[in-house]
Structure 1
Amino acid sequence: MQKIQAHDIKREELDGRGKYTWALDGLEAELQYTVTSKDVRTADHAVVPPALQGSGVGHALVERMVNDARNSGWRIKPVCGFVASAKEKHPDWHDAFVN
């Protein structure tokens, strides 16, 4: 599998809901979030098809959200267990999360 690049991940946001998506050969992984305030996005749910699990796509989606949070001045509240686990594995990301 190819290395997943940030520019390959699409971000959509509409009416207080958003998602990051990455697709390959008809398979799509996504990270859904809610805009809870101008300063916080709640990471609600990550979906990675079984065929893509272990490929690093889930990590790439969270990393893209972390980078967007840092660049845009908002922080992430991890409701999704996958995102919470990724946060714990990456202490260098903690600045992008709500404590």
Structure 2
Amino acid sequence: MSDSQAHTAQIIDNAEANRYEAFVDGELAGFAEYIRTKNLIAFVHTEVNVGYEGQGIGAALVRSSLDTARTAGLAVLPVCPFYAGWIARHPEYRELVYTSRSKVND
């Protein structure tokens, strides 16, 4: 199923639980856990419930959370392999990825 077929998922930011949650017909279909600081959001784990696999739930979670990060001006650290892979396939989101700006001088 393509990303566009995930239109039935409602994505919410459950800040108390530090995760984005995907609901389909009022039922939790999946989630993406994160750690957030003032300037950065690290996505550390994504899980889609078995009954919803292959329906674009993971893609909907990633797209929605990255769009929110972009709007908030947050850099993104894709620790979760699902996030890293999704961003690699969607170059329009690569500029959000955090890169260290510090240098070690010899």
Fold in common (TM above 0.5): yes
- 2:19 maps to what in 1? 19
In the alignment, is residue 44 of structure 1 matched against residue 47 of structure 2? no
Unaligned runs of 5+ in 2: 100-106
Identity %: 28
Contact 2:21 2:28 in 1 (8 A): no
The amino acid that maps onto 1:11 is D
In the alignment, the residues of structure 2 paired with residue 38 and residue 5 of structure 1 have an alpha-carbon distance, to the nearest angstrom, of: 31
Residue 68 (1) aligns with residue 68 (2):
yes
**What CA RMSD, in Å, does the superposition of the two structures yield over aligned residues?**
2.1
Provide the aligned length of Structure 1 versus Structure 2: 95
User: For residue 82 of structure 1, what is the aligned residue in structure 2?
Assistant: 82
Could you list the runs of 5+ residues in structure 1 that have no partner in the other structure? none
Question: 1:95, CA displacement in angstroms?
Answer: 1.5
In structure 1, distance between residues paired with 2:46 and 2:35? 13
For 2:45 and 2:21, the matched residues in 1 are separated by 12
Which entry has the higher C-alpha Rg, 1 or 2? 2
Q: Distance in 1 between matches of 2:8 and 2:70?
A: 18
Q: For 2:62, what is the secondary structure of its paired residue?
A: helix
Q: TM-score, normalised by structure 2?
A: 0.78
Q: TM-score under structure 1 normalisation? A: 0.83
Deviations 1:12-66 (A, max 9, x none): 213xx6111112354420001001x311111010010122111011001000111
Q: Secondary structure of the equivalent of 1:9?
A: strand
Q: What residue number does 1:10 align with?
A: 12
